[in-house]
Amino acid sequence: MQIIEKKEIKAVHMTDLADLLKKFDQLEDFTNGNIKCEICSDILINTNIGSLKLKNERLIFSCNKPACFNKMVKKSTD
């Protein structure tokens, strides 16, 4: 018998991203290309966001490169 572990996944749909960025006063930074991947520093756009999390009342992001996404997830669990 296989044991399946349930985990809650919190997600933001791309259609809600602008509202979330507004809430944290980061929409203008995102629109102007000033939001970067926390791991590799690539500039983030709608098509390359991998993950985000809250840190010190700001959203921080990773791009969708597997290595960056995995490092961000690992940081979240540390």
What is the per-residue pLDDT across 24-67, written as a single tens digit (0 to 9) for each? 999 999 999 999 999 999 999 999 999 999 999 999 999 999 99
Distances (CA, A) of 46 to 4, 5, 39, 74: 33, 31, 17, 23
Q: Which pLDDT score, from 0 to 100, does residue 12 have?
A: 72
Q: Does 30 map to a domain? A: yes
Total domains, the chain: 1
The CA distance from 23 to 59, in Å, is: 10
Please tell me the pTM assigned to this model.
Answer: 0.77
Q: Which pLDDT score, from 0 to 100, does residue 16 have?
A: 84
Q: Which pLDDT score, from 0 to 100, does residue 73 have?
A: 84
Q: Does 34 map to a domain? A: yes
Structural domain span for residue 26: 14-67
Report helix, strand or coil for 33.
Answer: coil
The CA distance from 26 to 54, in Å, is: 12
